[in-house]
Structure 1
Amino acid sequence: MTTTVAATHAPRPARAWVAPTAGAAPLVLFLLASPLQVEDAPLAVEQPDGTWDIPAGTPYLLNTSWPESGYFLWFVAWAAGLSCVTAVLVCRRRPVLATLLAAWPFVTIPLLGTFAWGWWLALLMITCLVVQDSWRRAVLPLVATLAGAWLYALTNVPAALPIGPVNAGSSDGAPSPAAGAIYTVAVALVVGVAAVVRVVRASSRRSRAAAATERHALEVESVAVERARLARDLHDVVAHHVSLVAVRAESAPYTYPDLGDDARRVLADIAGDARQALGELRQVLAVLQRTDGGARAPQPTACDIAGLVEQARAAGQDVTLTGDCEDVPAAQGYVLYRAAQEALTNARRHAPGAPTTITLALVSDVAGLRVTNPVDDPGGPGDVVPGGGLIGMRERVEALGGVVTAEREGSAFVLVVSLPVGPREPVPAVRRDAAGVA
């Protein structure tokens, strides 16, 4: 048996873009509201002798005409911003590529003397998103995030925020290890929250998977058990009729002594075939592990539902039975009997003390059973979640080509069983009227 296990770091394709898109949207607004500029940075001044006087602390490229005109800042701001937004969008599928796309803008700090704080925010977002899929893949963006924070704290370069350029620590430009420590703690808290979210989501997925597995196991078990019971029950029903065929074929020569030799041979063959069919049915019972010494009683029919109702009333259950049980074939009648039995059990369990109504009907070529009872918690209309009893009932009914519906209608639970039947033929049983017994 081969078992396929999905990798824990691979997000579902339909959901891979939801969280990154939700993170990229505010990042775009943050970058647009954070103008990249150098506050109070004196540019190089050309001296009369043709040389350039470059003040200390001025970024190297700011002494040329192109950065001075502002085009360089504009190009870096848009290129870095688009790169960071793209990195957030693709981080769950390509975490390494996303880290590189969000980290390269920091290379321009020596050229500009400043950076956009949104670049570092993109690294933090990538770390939080990647950690949802894989602890190992989140190491690289986490290291890049911490490195960017300490770079900001130790170099004390101004960062562009919506409120303007801001230094990490002191205003005199000195390194600020305290700011680096604060950023480290903040990153740990944010990533820790993201890790907790992952654990909670994984636990929820495992719970849902366990519940689905349990439901599937219940369905498989119920179907298997019901199929075995149905096979045994149908054997008893069919065996009754086949045995009648054998007995009638064997007794015909004595009942009609004027039969010819050819007719007697045909009847003997019919009796032999019937006996062989009974033997094969007993072999099926052996496969189903049913002991041959078990008690064999006549299988209940649709008219025996009246006996179920009387038993339920004796136990204190309020049950009303209406309809006609006559002319329902044995196999269909037995299935209706078991359905009514399960319905009464469910009514006692889920709606104790509530009145239950059972209606039998045989219209055209369809035999039907309808059971209604009020429920304490009506809920919304529609189908209900089937348990083992309803699953077994559905398996039994569908084996004969029927249909089962179990749903809530207002404040009542309604079970309807419909079974196709052949042409009406009276069953060989004592005539009983279910409504009369009721």
Structure 2
Amino acid sequence: MTSTVAAPNPLRPARAWVAPAAMAAVLGLFLLASPLRVEEAPLAVEQPDGTWDTPAGTPYLVETSWLDSGYFLWFVTWAAGLSCVTAVLVARRRPVLATLLAAWPFLTVPLLGTFVWGWWLALLMITCLVVQDSWRRAVVPLVVTLAGAWLYALTNVPAALPIGPVHAGSYDGERPVEAGLIYTVAVSLVVGVAAVVRTARASSRRSLAAAATERHALEVESVAVERARLARDLHDVVAHHVSLVAVRAESAPYTYPDLGDDARRVLADIAGDAREALGELRQVLAVLQRTDGSARAPQPTACDIAGLVEQARAAGQDVTLTGDCEDVPAAQGYVLYRAAQEALTNARRHAPGAPTTITLAHVSDVAGLRVTNPVDPPAGAGDVVPGGGLIGMRERVEALGGVVTAEREGPEFVLVVSLPVGPREAVPAVGRDVRRDAAGVA
């Protein structure tokens, strides 16, 4: 029997890279559209003593040979861009390393007097990605992101965007505190949305795991209950025949008074073994906790399926029964009876009012039945989820070496049960004709 426990998903590691890869692609395009431009140096101020003094806060490399050549600016632009894109890609696995890769470009701000706004965007992306896995691991990138936002707001340093250099707050960089607060609120909202997404995904995973656990528990419970019931049923069948052996062995000396002493002792031993076997069977039932008040009645056989059909018809169900039920052994007949009973129950539940056809067959050393009923709407084969009834039915059939198939074939649901039986003697011609009609069952 196939277990319903969910196997590990081999696609899960690959899916973990989807969000980082998408964000890294967006960041790369944003950085390409935001070229790093260095403003000209402010004019020097003439001092009273006739000297010229550069205003405080002037970038160190402005109007130096380093920048005039253009190589240093090109190196910073590409090195910082590649570092930030790499940081977003490795954020979920190495959050601290990713934060360092996205934060080091800001060390060039005192040298250039500007930066690319996409560098800070990389820090925000890293925070949103890491928060999907752990709040604690997201603390470092979150603190660095907020610190970068406040430095941008308070230092009046322009940031390169696709539209050109932009100051925090107003155009001239005034009202820095308000700008810092706006960035703080914006970061909180974005990270909060990321946290909500994480909570929703975790809830969905827990629901799926709980559903899988519930299905597995239902299957285990159904199998256990059906095995206990099958053991009790087999006890009733076996006990009947073993008790007959004991009675015949004990009555043989009276039926045949000419038996010798050795034969009488052998028969007595047979009767004792039979009685001992019955006692052990009762002990097994005690383990299975069968109550003394349990109903004890003759076990139904394959021919008793006709009674089931009559009861279903009396309840208003449209059922047609065809086939041969003669000479099916007791154990196999009981299993076929229970299978037909479960099939009729499922038909009433899932296809009320639809006609149901039951076909019995006993050909050579195989006995079985086939139950069909229309389903609406039709679905493809293989999408049948077994419930407790089908699981118990399969347990019964497989205990006797049989096979159960339950699937949708076009517009019909088809249940087929096949059970091996011993060779049977020839049956009347009418039985053979019915078996030819139902030969597709076995």
TM-score (norm: length of structure 2): 0.87
Q: After superposition, what is the alpha-carbon deviation per residue over 1:140-161, rounded to whole angstroms, capped at 9, x for unaligned?
A: 2111111111211222212122
Partner of 2:440: none
- Give the superposition deviation at 1:122: 0.6
State whether residues 114 and 157 of structure 2, in contact with CA within 8 Å, keep that contact through their aligned partners in structure 1. Answer: yes
Partner of 2:371: 371
The CA RMSD measured in Å over matched residues stands at 2.8
- Give the superposition deviation at 1:280: 0.7
Aligned AA for 1:240? H
Q: After superposition, what is the alpha-carbon deviation per residue over 1:158-195, rounded to whole angstroms, capped at 9, x for unaligned?
A: 21222222222344454632222222222122111111
Q: After superposition, what is the alpha-carbon deviation per residue over 1:393-416, rounded to whole angstroms, capped at 9, x for unaligned?
A: 111112222222211222222111
Which structure 2 residues correspond to residues 199-214 of structure 1 after superposition, within 5 A?
A: 199-214=199-214
**Is 1:248 aligned to 2:248, yes or no?**
yes
Aligned AA for 1:60? Y
- Give the superposition deviation at 1:266: 2.2
Structure 2 unaligned spans of 5+? 1-10, 45-50, 436-442
**Is 1:424 aligned to 2:424, yes or no?**
yes
Aligned AA for 2:384? V
**What is the alpha-carbon distance in structure 1 between the residues aligned to residue 127 and residue 277 of structure 2?**
72
- Give the superposition deviation at 1:76: 1.2
- Give the superposition deviation at 1:107: 1.1
Q: After superposition, what is the alpha-carbon deviation per residue over 1:318-349, rounded to whole angstroms, capped at 9, x for unaligned?
A: 11111111222211111111111111111112
Matched position secondary structure for 1:61: coil
Partner of 1:61: 61
Aligned AA for 2:339? A
Partner of 2:38: 38
In structure 2, relative to structure 1, the CA distance for the partners of 1:75 and 1:42 (3 Å cut) is farther
Q: After superposition, what is the alpha-carbon deviation per residue over 1:59-86, rounded to whole angstroms, capped at 9, x for unaligned?
A: 2123432222111111111221121111
**What is the alpha-carbon distance in structure 2 between the residues aligned to residue 143 and residue 422 of structure 1?**
78
In structure 2, relative to structure 1, the CA distance for the partners of 1:269 and 1:425 (3 Å cut) is farther
Matched position secondary structure for 1:62: coil
**What is the alpha-carbon distance in structure 2 between the residues aligned to residue 418 and residue 86 of structure 1?**
61
**What is the alpha-carbon distance in structure 2 between the residues aligned to residue 108 and residue 250 of structure 1?**
106
**What is the alpha-carbon distance in structure 2 between the residues aligned to residue 295 and residue 121 of structure 1?**
75
Partner of 1:7: none
Aligned AA for 1:308? L
Partner of 2:110: 110
- Give the superposition deviation at 1:27: 1.0
Matched position secondary structure for 2:78: helix
Partner of 2:385: 385
- Give the superposition deviation at 1:376: 3.1
Q: After superposition, what is the alpha-carbon deviation per residue over 1:330-379, rounded to whole angstroms, capped at 9, x for unaligned?
A: 11111111111111111112212111111111233222111111123433
Matched position secondary structure for 1:311: helix
**What is the alpha-carbon distance in structure 2 between the residues aligned to residue 425 and residue 87 of structure 1?**
80
Matched position secondary structure for 2:62: helix
Partner of 2:80: 80
Partner of 2:395: 395
**Is 1:99 aligned to 2:99, yes or no?**
yes
Partner of 1:169: 169
**What is the alpha-carbon distance in structure 2 between the residues aligned to residue 172 and residue 190 of structure 1?**
27
In structure 2, relative to structure 1, the CA distance for the partners of 1:80 and 1:426 (3 Å cut) is same
Matched position secondary structure for 2:61: helix
**What is the alpha-carbon distance in structure 2 between the residues aligned to residue 65 and residue 130 of structure 1?**
41
**What is the alpha-carbon distance in structure 1 between the residues aligned to residue 68 and residue 54 of structure 2?**
13
Matched position secondary structure for 1:60: coil
Partner of 2:412: 412
State whether residues 326 and 426 of structure 1, in contact with CA within 8 Å, keep that contact through their aligned partners in structure 2. Answer: no
In structure 2, relative to structure 1, the CA distance for the partners of 1:156 and 1:363 (3 Å cut) is farther
Which structure 2 residues correspond to residues 28-427 of structure 1 after superposition, within 5 A?
A: 28-41=28-41, 58-174=58-174, 176-292=176-292, 294-424=294-424
Matched position secondary structure for 2:231: helix
Aligned AA for 2:381? P
State whether residues 40 and 63 of structure 2, in contact with CA within 8 Å, keep that contact through their aligned partners in structure 1. Answer: no
**What is the alpha-carbon distance in structure 1 between the residues aligned to residue 106 and residue 285 of structure 2?**
79
**What is the alpha-carbon distance in structure 1 between the residues aligned to residue 118 and residue 20 of structure 2?**
15
**More off after superposition, 124-133 vs 162-171:** 162-171
Partner of 1:4: none
In structure 2, relative to structure 1, the CA distance for the partners of 1:426 and 1:242 (3 Å cut) is farther
State whether residues 329 and 425 of structure 1, in contact with CA within 8 Å, keep that contact through their aligned partners in structure 2. Answer: no
Aligned AA for 2:188? A
**What is the alpha-carbon distance in structure 1 between the residues aligned to residue 60 and residue 179 of structure 2?**
27
**What is the alpha-carbon distance in structure 1 between the residues aligned to residue 79 and residue 99 of structure 2?**
15
**What is the alpha-carbon distance in structure 2 between the residues aligned to residue 136 and residue 425 of structure 1?**
77
